Structure 1
């Protein structure tokens, strides 16, 4: 094998991989292999990488990989000069022993040229040498071993090797290893396999049983032409999308958009073939959410929707084979789906025989949390919170509706349909409520109280739903904080971050005029003495919610400084947060903003150092200096205008009114000694600064805008 730089291909052939982790495994394999080769000097930073991942393999093609890494110069510190050389400058026994350990044990080993250099404050002896670059055989073996250890495998399999004695651990049994550098095989081994140039194609569609790869660059082409395998995950995914669009266009319908389903199907097939199937239209009497979930979750089919978003009786199958006559494949899939839909219809018909009201009592037998009681106890708390919020936001009528919806909100957990498909909780509650003859406001609130279920999800569609959704999330947040179940790191088993974001989104986007403090207090009271939720826990929960909200607001394009300025006020009413942020953004663009923010920060620092309380009363007779008189006068002129704008919610105008303070504030600090020895004058000047700070920070703490 020559030392030329050539392209490298590594493939590991395995039994069918877990579809939901296939893409991640393939990408990790390619990234880890490349990083390891780079670290050993066998690949540079300008290389091109192609990752491959199919149900039975992952592989990587890396361009311009060297047969041997370049040699490197190395400088090894031996010991301090005082230890290595005697008074005559001759090598000490300690130095000689060290050199012989490096260069050989022979007594006649000549002393190499050593370098003297400062190592900190001590002069030391250094040995400069050339380290020979690692060969591709050595480096690739090390890279393979490292890579397999780094793969994100959640559950290992233990299986026996061909010798019948040895066993190894891996995600699935491995059956083949390819390592080609150009046309040359690199003799590496892993998982009991020795590398070669042979691989396998599709189990049923391949033209040949064994594919002999010509070189690293022909891998993808040969797998496609000889093996009936599209090895690239993104190429295979695009091919599935192309076929889905083509077949659905023939029907005049649109497949359900689901990126996760598309990824999973891509990980299940090597040679995709999209086919159209049908089911009995009579099944459309079942709620379409049930049918769609059955098709997607159980069968990996793509349901087809009409122009109005309603489910049709047609669906698309992504098959892994391409027979000349596809009728048997379609018929088999239709037969399997018919059984699934029949089960769903049975569940639906059985569930409708009992009302939601009749199921509520059964929640007393379902444990919610060992420290927080049963689902029945939880529903009682949600009911109380929802009623209190409803009373506050809409009076007795809204309170009654919110209470009724809250009482029924978890009843569908005891239905057969939700037992089979937990993802349908709330959705089935809405259908059963409508079947029971309940008003749409109540039915929709039962479904919507789980919303928003994820980032970007829609909010509850009516006020009843908003009250119950807030109650549900607040009950969870307060309860979990009250028993110390606070998320740490990435762990969040009760989805408290999502609940906090849901609360802030509803308060902000629906502009609900109720304070965060009030709804947290309402929620904590319903727990009575079951949890420990005092001022410390309330403060902690407020911070948790503010942190989630800050991250959410950054996604809206506000800067960290602007968000921090508003959050520093610990706003309790979140319905005007966006107006405050817009005002702060507009204020930041004013030429006076920088100077006023800096002055505000200076005022804050002065007031922080004051022992005791600062009076809010200014004695005009004690304003001796012209600069403090001028500041007081301008403040008196500005305050009525700014206060009026603030009360009307015109926050931008309120902040813009402060622009005239720039000159008198700057003049004040240039000419007035605040911390004078005269305690009376000092107290009066501090009162003036406190008034200034109060006026400037009514919308936001603008000192946070100081650079």
Structure 2
């Protein structure tokens, strides 16, 4: 008999959930419920799941859920035939005991199935397992969904006296739960959770619900009843879309081509704070616009969850948008209240900005000597000295005295804004405020931009510094951090990377590659490590060799993420290229070479040559034509004399693709050599000469990349 299928609705009604975790909680709750019901055969893999999450509820709607799962045929291995049946084929006591444990007796013996299990024949008991009822299955699924919620911090609370476990009984959950709904179609499913019994009643908006409680008719009416009777948009995505629509409409209402600031994280957080969004337009005094807009935007977003409005030139206006959770007929009180709240915040920002400008950045550098950077690496002041020296060295390699002067000055002032009032209040503005204060002090735009940009790239996809001075200081700052931390053994482990060394390494890689800087990686690390020679316990080996491995490993991962194969990446990075700006060209050359018909054979031959040379430490790259006896070795020598100089010239000119394609012409003479020449000849001079020929060939073929890494 086919079980009746209906749609299922489950809701947990709770106190206000943590906004930054709400979307993840909602998706996890619904997802685990669905997975558990599908696993028990109560829902279909194609059943449609809709997750709901608002500040006071987690809910899930699932289509095509059965009242009872289908029965399942179960085959259970009992024991080997030799153990279960005696010589006359009668059941042994061991078999009868096992059958009794399964609720069967000797009458089941004739029906036991025999089948091979490994090398021995075994007895199997076949039965039918009753499918779970929805009440049983949902109870298990609900318990699993609650247990697996990614709760940021668990609360323990005492159950209400009306629950089944009154008095001092307590449960643990993300927030106290006050209601449970479970509807299969229009029927309540009798399940329990967190001391609550399932029903069909829930609650809407605290202040604007049309009725309380909201009595749900059936599973399918949930979203509509919550909106019409409960004044709640239960769906996180629907609520987010509605807020975005209202924000855009309010900006149009303001006029002047204004747009609300784009911030997905802020939009998600506000969506998690309201159940019935109502966007209102507010304003503040224009005098506050004298403060850098980054300060005003940050305080409005971070502290008040407001959406600042920007004009057509992307400049901050004195208007902002508030997402209210109430919709009064006269919103003036709500608007006025939010304007009063934001004013002191903006006044604080203006005060900090005015006070900070009374002292120059240069006058603040000395104070960095009182700020501890790391207990083994000293103060921020000492760190600044190291960054200055590293930056000056890089600038001298890359440019003229002007670049060196700009980079050195920017490096000296780059951390000075850390001791300003504004950055003390808003650490996210470090660098940004340094730029504003540098311009106020009359410094050049290039130096001011370098102060702001030296933190870049801050994250994957972030812009690189605007000018070369910024590139130099950003490189120096990241190298100082990497070398210092590796030198004292403070390395990233697993998911732990408190000093963001992986991000710093990727920043160094991006600048060296995207700006194609003529700087050797080893030389950069050695120069940076020299600035730590006074640090007790500093390990220069870790700071150079191990750090170089770390950087190349990050580069390998980045190249693979961009679509390069592991073989191609290994081939290019195995020789440990020093100028990382060349790596994209090397990779393109290897990829073009790998597509040639001769590539596989040459890669295999290269691997064979490498293995031969590993066993011949006495070999050198000297070749005497007088000792070339076999036609194949003479032909290979002649081909190399023609091909290798051309390939080397192309390599030296930076045309790595052409260099490898030229070397591909050696395929036939190389194949003929291995077919017709005994490398390890008994005569020592012949053997060494042939090894020398192979060594010369190996060196020529591996200038661009280790081609043997391409061998299958």
Match of 2:544 in 1: 538
- 2:74 is paired with a residue whose SS is strand
Are 1:551 and 2:557 matched, yes or no? yes
Query: Structure 2: how far apart are the matches of 1:64 and 1:525?
Result: 69
The answer (yes or no) to whether the contact 1:187–1:195 under 8 Å persists in 2 is yes
TM-score normalized by the length of structure 1: 0.96
The answer (yes or no) to whether the contact 1:2–1:67 under 8 Å persists in 2 is no
Query: Structure 1: how far apart are the matches of 2:643 and 2:111?
Result: 80
Match of 2:483 in 1: 478
Query: Structure 2: how far apart are the matches of 1:684 and 1:395?
Result: 50
The answer (yes or no) to whether the contact 2:308–2:320 under 8 Å persists in 1 is yes
TM-score normalized by the length of structure 2: 0.95
Structure 1 residues 45-54 or 578-587, which shifts more? 578-587
Are 1:241 and 2:247 matched, yes or no? no
The answer (yes or no) to whether the contact 2:532–2:538 under 8 Å persists in 1 is no
The answer (yes or no) to whether the contact 1:42–1:65 under 8 Å persists in 2 is yes
Aligned 1:352-367 pairs, distance under 5 A: 352-367=357-372
Match of 1:149 in 2: 147
- 1:532 is paired with a residue whose SS is coil
Query: Structure 2: how far apart are the matches of 1:2 and 1:508?
Result: 64
Are 1:383 and 2:381 matched, yes or no? no
Change (3 A) 1:17 1:613: farther
Deviation (angstroms), 1:558 = 2.9
Are 1:584 and 2:590 matched, yes or no? yes
Structure 1 residues 376-385 or 492-501, which shifts more? 376-385
Change (3 A) 1:672 1:399: same
Match of 1:514 in 2: 519
- 1:575 is paired with a residue whose SS is helix
Structure 1 residues 348-357 or 108-117, which shifts more? 108-117
Deviation (angstroms), 1:417 = 0.8
The answer (yes or no) to whether the contact 2:285–2:318 under 8 Å persists in 1 is yes
Structure 1 residues 599-608 or 413-422, which shifts more? 599-608
Match of 2:569 in 1: 563
Query: Structure 2: how far apart are the matches of 1:2 and 1:173?
Result: 39
Match of 1:173 in 2: 176
Structure 1 residues 527-536 or 644-653, which shifts more? 527-536
Deviation (angstroms), 1:45 = 1.5
Query: Structure 2: how far apart are the matches of 1:433 and 1:188?
Result: 65
Match of 2:12 in 1: 12
Which of 211, 214, 228 is the equivalent residue of 2:231?
A: 228
Deviation (angstroms), 1:355 = 1.9
Deviation (angstroms), 1:620 = 1.4
Which of 189, 192, 215 is the equivalent residue of 1:189?
A: 192
Query: Structure 1: how far apart are the matches of 2:244 and 2:625?
Result: 77
The CA deviation string for residues 33-67 of structure 1, in whole angstroms up to 9 with x for no partner, is 11111221212222111111111111111111111
Which of 473, 477, 492 is the equivalent residue of 1:468?
A: 473
Q: What runs of 5+ residues in structure 1 fail to find an aligned partner? A: none
Match of 2:164 in 1: none
The answer (yes or no) to whether the contact 1:100–1:109 under 8 Å persists in 2 is no
Deviation (angstroms), 1:113 = 2.7
Match of 1:614 in 2: 619
Structure 1 residues 21-30 or 369-378, which shifts more? 369-378
Deviation (angstroms), 1:395 = 4.3
The answer (yes or no) to whether the contact 2:486–2:542 under 8 Å persists in 1 is no
The CA deviation string for residues 627-680 of structure 1, in whole angstroms up to 9 with x for no partner, is 111111111111222112111211222122122112222222222222333332
Query: Structure 1: how far apart are the matches of 2:181 and 2:2?
Result: 19
Match of 1:256 in 2: 261
Which of 282, 302, 325 is the equivalent residue of 1:297?
A: 302
Change (3 A) 1:679 1:185: farther
Structure 1 residues 529-538 or 470-479, which shifts more? 529-538
Match of 2:579 in 1: 573
Deviation (angstroms), 1:531 = 4.0
Are 1:654 and 2:659 matched, yes or no? yes
Match of 1:371 in 2: 376
The answer (yes or no) to whether the contact 1:478–1:533 under 8 Å persists in 2 is no
- 1:247 is paired with a residue whose SS is helix
The answer (yes or no) to whether the contact 2:84–2:94 under 8 Å persists in 1 is yes
The answer (yes or no) to whether the contact 1:158–1:168 under 8 Å persists in 2 is yes
Change (3 A) 1:690 1:536: farther
Query: Structure 1: how far apart are the matches of 2:293 and 2:277?
Result: 27
Deviation (angstroms), 1:109 = 7.1
The CA deviation string for residues 471-519 of structure 1, in whole angstroms up to 9 with x for no partner, is 1111111122122222222221111111000000010111111111011
Deviation (angstroms), 1:112 = 6.2
Structure 1 residues 538-547 or 593-602, which shifts more? 593-602
Query: Structure 2: how far apart are the matches of 1:536 and 1:112?
Result: 72
- 1:274 is paired with a residue whose SS is strand
Which of 283, 292, 297 is the equivalent residue of 2:288?
A: 283
Deviation (angstroms), 1:447 = 0.9
Query: Structure 2: how far apart are the matches of 1:307 and 1:678?
Result: 84
Structure 1 residues 447-456 or 266-275, which shifts more? 266-275
The root-mean-square deviation of aligned C-alpha atoms, in Å, is 1.9
Which of 318, 330, 334 is the equivalent residue of 2:335?
A: 330
Query: Structure 2: how far apart are the matches of 1:19 and 1:193?
Result: 24
Structure 1 residues 277-286 or 654-663, which shifts more? 654-663
- 1:124 is paired with a residue whose SS is strand
Deviation (angstroms), 1:151 = 0.9
Query: Structure 2: how far apart are the matches of 1:573 and 1:134?
Result: 65
Q: What runs of 5+ residues in structure 2 fail to find an aligned partner? A: 162-166
Aligned 1:48-87 pairs, distance under 5 A: 48-87=48-87
Match of 1:503 in 2: 508
Match of 1:672 in 2: 677
Match of 1:692 in 2: 697
The CA deviation string for residues 588-644 of structure 1, in whole angstroms up to 9 with x for no partner, is 333332332232222223323x14243011111222121111111111111222112
Aligned 1:635-650 pairs, distance under 5 A: 635-650=640-655
Structure 1 residues 394-403 or 182-191, which shifts more? 394-403
Match of 1:124 in 2: 122
Match of 1:159 in 2: 157
Deviation (angstroms), 1:392 = 2.2
Deviation (angstroms), 1:187 = 0.7
The answer (yes or no) to whether the contact 2:296–2:346 under 8 Å persists in 1 is yes
Query: Structure 2: how far apart are the matches of 1:392 and 1:613?
Result: 40
